[in-house]
C-alpha cells in the first residue's frame, strides 16, 4: 500500500509528487498517457501570469501570485527555461479605461508587485508593433514565460529521483474505499493507497465522482493556438493581452522561452474530453483577434497550430481540498488558467494537506535539485569540442531546424522517466519542433528510439498508444 497515489502526471500531479517526496512517504503517480505532460499542461499559453486577473480573495489569486514568486528559484533548482519578460494588458478603447484601472486595483490587492498603467507613448516605446489603436496598458513586470514541458518534466524527474514511482499507460477505472485508504482498479492492475490525490485535469470530475456523492462537472474548454517561426519571435518582447472589451476576450501574443511567437487561445466549451482537434472557425478566430493588439503580425510564418483543453469547473475556482464524504481523497481539480503559473504553489498546498492527514515526517534525503538536458548552445567553442570529444553523439546534428544533436536525444531517452516516443523526444529536446515540423528528423529520431528501446521500428510511436508511424515493409501485402 502506497501512502499516496496521485492520479495524473501533469504539472499539478508532478508538483504534488515532488513536494510529497520532501516527506517520508511512499508516493506513486498513475498516468493514463504514455508520458508526463500529455494533457492540459502540454497545450496552453506557456505563461506565468503575474496574478492581477484572478478575483481578489480567491484561491486562484493566492496560488497564482505564490506560484509566480516561486517560479524563478524553481527554474534554477530544476533547470528549466523561464523568463520574466513582463506582460501588458492593452486597452484599445478610451471608454474601457475603467476596466484597466479595475484590473490594476485587483492586482494590487492580490499582492502583485510593480504594476502600473502606462500611456500610449511608453507602450509604443516598449512594443513598437503594438496596434495603432492602443491607448494604454497595464504593465506587469513580474509576468513571465515558461516552457510548460520543461517545468512539468523537471518536477516529475525530480520527484522520481526522490523516490516517487510513475506508472504510465495506466488508466484508473474504479476507486473503492478500503480499510485505511482506497483501492484503485486500473487497466494495469490494482493499486492501494492511504491517500489519493485527484490531479486528473479534464477528467478530474470522473475520478471525483467515483468516490463522492457530491458530483462535480469539469467542462473541457478548448483553446486553439498558432505557433510562429523563430523569425517572427521578436515581433513583441512582452506578453501582450487584450483588455476584454467590445471585441470580447481577445487573444494573447507572446514570445516563447525558445524564441517562437505564440498566438491564442480561443475559448470554446466542448463535451469531448479528448477533443484536442483544431477547427477552421477556431483558427480563423485566432488570426482575426490577434490583430486587435498587435499590428503586422506575420501569420504566414505559422509553423503549427494546436488546441488544448482547460479543465473548467463551473465555479471558476481551483478546488484543492479533502473531499467531504471521502476522507483521505484530495481533489486537485478545476486547474485551469492560471494553473501552470500556480503549479509550484499547488504542489505545496496539496502536500501540506496530505502531510497533515498522514502526520508525515520530513525526508532528510530529499534533494530538490535536478540537472536538465544539456543545451550545447550555452557552451563555448572549447567546451563544446571537449563535450564532442568525450561523447561524439553531441557532434551529430539530428534536428536541423533546432540544431539538436544525437547526444541530447540520447540523454532525453536514457534519463529517468525518459522519452519513449517522437513527441516525448520533442517535448524534452525540441527535436522536431522547428520550422520543418519533424519532416527531416523523424526517421532519424525513430532509428535512435528503436535502437535505445530495443524495439522494432514498427513499435515506435508518435505519442504512445496506437500512434505507430510505420505500418509495415515495402510490398509486404503484395
Find the part of the chain contacting other proteins (CB under 8 A) among 61-69, 200-208, 302-310, 362-370: 302-310
Q: How far is the CB of 377 from other proteins (least distance, A)?
A: 10
Contact between 395 and other proteins by CB under 8 A: the answer reads: yes
Contact between 365 and other proteins by CB under 8 A: the answer reads: no
Find the part of the chain contacting other proteins (CB under 8 A) among 80-88, 274-282, 331-339, 340-348: 274-282
Q: Which helix (H) or strand (E) holds 29?
A: strand 27-30
Q: Compare residues 298 and 315 and give the one whose CB is closer to other proteins.
A: 298
Contact between 403 and other proteins by CB under 8 A: the answer reads: yes
The torsion of the CA quartet 429, 433, 436, 438, rounded to 10 degrees, works out to: 60
Q: Compare residues 192 and 437 and give the one whose CB is closer to other proteins.
A: 437
374 contacts 84 by C-beta, under 8 angstroms:
no
- Contacting residue, 303, 353, 413, 417, with other proteins by CB under 8 A: 303
Cβ neighbors of 394 (< 8 A, separation 6 or more) are 376, 384, 387, 388, 405, 406, 407, 408
Alpha carbon distance 86, 240 (integer Å): 9
Alpha carbon distance 214, 396 (integer Å): 56
DSSP state, 333?
E
Q: How far is the CB of 128 from other proteins (least distance, A)?
A: 21
SS3 137: strand
Q: What does the DSSP assignment read for 439-464?
A: TTTHHHHHHHHHHHHT--GGG-BSSS
* Residue 312 bears catalytic tag: no
Cβ neighbors of 241 (< 8 A, separation 6 or more) are 87, 88, 89, 90, 250, 252, 293
189: number of Cβ within 10 Å: 9
- Contacting residue, 400, 418, 452, 453, with other proteins by CB under 8 A: 400
- Contacting residue, 117, 374, 453, 469, with other proteins by CB under 8 A: 469
Find the part of the chain contacting other proteins (CB under 8 A) among 65-73, 75-83, 138-146, 429-437: 429-437
Cβ neighbors of 269 (< 8 A, separation 6 or more) are 219, 220, 221, 222, 312
| Phi, psi for 174 (deg, rounded to 5) | -150, 145
- Contacting residue, 278, 322, 357, 374, with other proteins by CB under 8 A: 278
Q: How far is the CB of 435 from other proteins (least distance, A)?
A: 8
Q: Compare residues 53 and 285 and give the one whose CB is closer to other proteins.
A: 285
Find the part of the chain contacting other proteins (CB under 8 A) among 130-138, 177-185, 224-232, 326-334: 224-232
Alpha carbon distance 423, 412 (integer Å): 11
Q: Compare residues 358 and 453 and give the one whose CB is closer to other proteins.
A: 453
The torsion of the CA quartet 370, 373, 375, 378, rounded to 10 degrees, works out to: 10
- Contacting residue, 118, 122, 384, 453, with other proteins by CB under 8 A: 384
Q: How far is the CB of 36 from other proteins (least distance, A)?
A: 18
Contact between 462 and other proteins by CB under 8 A: the answer reads: yes
Q: How far is the CB of 355 from other proteins (least distance, A)?
A: 38
Contact between 276 and other proteins by CB under 8 A: the answer reads: yes
Contact between 268 and other proteins by CB under 8 A: the answer reads: no
Q: Compare residues 78 and 251 and give the one whose CB is closer to other proteins.
A: 251
Burial readout 254-291 (b: 16 or more C-beta within 10 A, e: otherwise): bbbbbebbbbbbbbbebeebeebebbeebbebbbebbb
How many chain residues interact with other proteins (CB under 8 A)?
53
Q: How far is the CB of 274 from other proteins (least distance, A)?
A: 6
Find the part of the chain contacting other proteins (CB under 8 A) among 88-96, 223-231, 237-245, 365-373: 223-231
Angle, alpha carbons 25-26-32 (nearest 5°): 130
Contact between 475 and other proteins by CB under 8 A: the answer reads: yes
Alpha carbon distance 386, 400 (integer Å): 22
- Residue tagged 497545450 (cell numbers): 43
- Contacting residue, 98, 246, 378, 477, with other proteins by CB under 8 A: 477
432 contacts 412 by C-beta, under 8 angstroms:
no
Contact between 160 and other proteins by CB under 8 A: the answer reads: no
Q: Which residues bind other proteins (CB under 8 A)?
A: 226-227, 231, 274, 276-280, 282-283, 302-306, 381, 384-385, 388-389, 392-393, 395-397, 400, 403, 435-437, 439-440, 442-443, 457, 461-463, 465-478
Active-site residue numbers? Answer: 49
Amino acid at each position: 500500500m502506497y501512502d499516496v497515489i496521485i492520479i495524473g502526471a501533469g504539472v499539478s500531479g508532478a508538483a504534488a509528487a515532488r513536494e510529497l517526496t520532501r516527506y517520508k512517504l511512499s508516493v506513486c503517480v498513475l498516468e493514463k498517457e504514455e508520458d508526463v505532460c500529455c494533457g492540459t499542461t502540454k497545450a496552453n499559453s506557456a505563461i506565468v501570469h503575474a496574478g492581477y486577473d484572478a478575483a481578489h480573495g480567491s484561491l486562484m489569486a493566492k496560488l497564482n501570485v505564490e506560484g509566480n514568486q516561486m517560479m524563478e528559484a524553481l527554474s534554477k533548482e530544476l533547470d528549466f527555461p523561464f523568463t520574466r519578460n513582463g506582460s501588458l494588458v492593452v486597452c484599445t478603447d478610451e471608454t474601457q479605461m475603467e476596466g484597466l484601472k479595475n484590473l490594476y486595483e485587483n492586482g494590487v490587492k492580490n499582492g502583485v508587485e510593480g504594476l502600473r498603467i502606462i500611456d500610449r507613448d511608453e507602450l509604443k516605446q516598449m512594443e513598437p508593433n503594438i496596434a495603432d489603436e492602443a491607448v494604454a496598458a497595464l504593465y506587469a513586470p513580474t509576468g513571465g514565460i515558461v516552457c510548460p514541458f520543461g517545468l512539468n518534466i523537471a518536477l516529475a524527474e525530480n520527484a522520481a529521483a526522490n523516490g516517487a514511482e510513475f506508472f504510465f499507460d495506466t488508466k484508473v477505472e474504479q476507486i473503492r474505499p478500503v480499510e485505511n485508504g482506497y483501492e484503485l482498479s486500473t487497466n494495469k492492475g490494482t493499486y492501494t493507497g492511504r491517500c489519493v490525490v485527484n490531479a486528473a485535469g479534464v477528467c478530474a470530475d470522473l475520478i471525483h465522482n467515483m468516490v463522492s456523492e457530491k458530483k462535480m462537472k469539469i467542462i473541457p474548454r478548448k483553446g486553439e493556438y498558432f505557433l510562429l517561426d523563430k523569425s517572427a519571435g521578436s515581433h513583441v518582447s512582452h506578453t501582450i493581452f487584450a483588455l476584454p472589451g467590445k471585441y470580447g476576450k481577445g487573444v494573447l501574443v507572446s514570445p516563447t522561452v525558445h524564441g517562437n511567437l505564440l498566438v491564442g487561445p480561443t475559448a470554446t466549451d466542448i463535451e469531448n474530453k479528448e477533443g484536442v482537434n483544431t477547427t477552421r472557425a477556431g483558427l480563423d478566430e485566432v488570426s482575426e483577434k490577434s490583430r486587435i493588439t498587435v499590428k503586422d503580425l506575420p501569420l504566414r510564418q505559422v509553423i503549427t497550430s494546436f488546441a488544448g483543453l482547460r479543465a473548467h469547473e463551473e465555479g471558476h475556482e481551483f478546488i484543492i481540498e479533502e473531499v467531504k464524504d471521502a476522507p483521505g481523497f484530495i481533489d486537485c481539480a478545476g486547474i485551469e488558467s492560471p494553473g501552470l503559473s500556480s503549479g509550484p504553489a499547488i504542489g505545496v498546498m496539496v502536500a501540506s494537506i496530505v502531510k497533515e492527514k498522514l502526520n508525515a515526517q520530513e525526508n532528510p534525503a530529499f534533494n530538490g535539485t535536478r540537472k536538465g538536458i544539456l543545451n550545447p548552445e550555452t557552451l563555448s567553442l572549447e567546451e563544446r569540442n571537449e563535450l564532442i570529444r568525450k561523447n561524439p553523439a553531441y557532434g551529430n546534428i539530428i534536428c536541423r531546424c533546432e540544431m539538436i544533436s544525437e547526444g541530447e536525444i540520447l540523454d532525453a531517452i536514457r534519463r529517468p522517466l525518459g522519452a519513449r516516443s517522437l513527441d516525448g523526444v520533442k517535448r524534452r529536446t525540441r527535436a522536431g519542433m522547428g520550422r520543418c515540423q519533424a519532416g527531416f528528423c523523424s526517421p532519424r529520431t525513430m532509428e535512435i528510439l528503436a535502437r535505445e528501446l530495443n524495439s522494432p521500428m514498427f513499435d515506435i510511436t508518435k505519442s504512445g498508444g496506437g500512434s505507430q508511424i510505420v505500418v509495415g515493409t515495402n510490398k509486404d501485402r503484395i
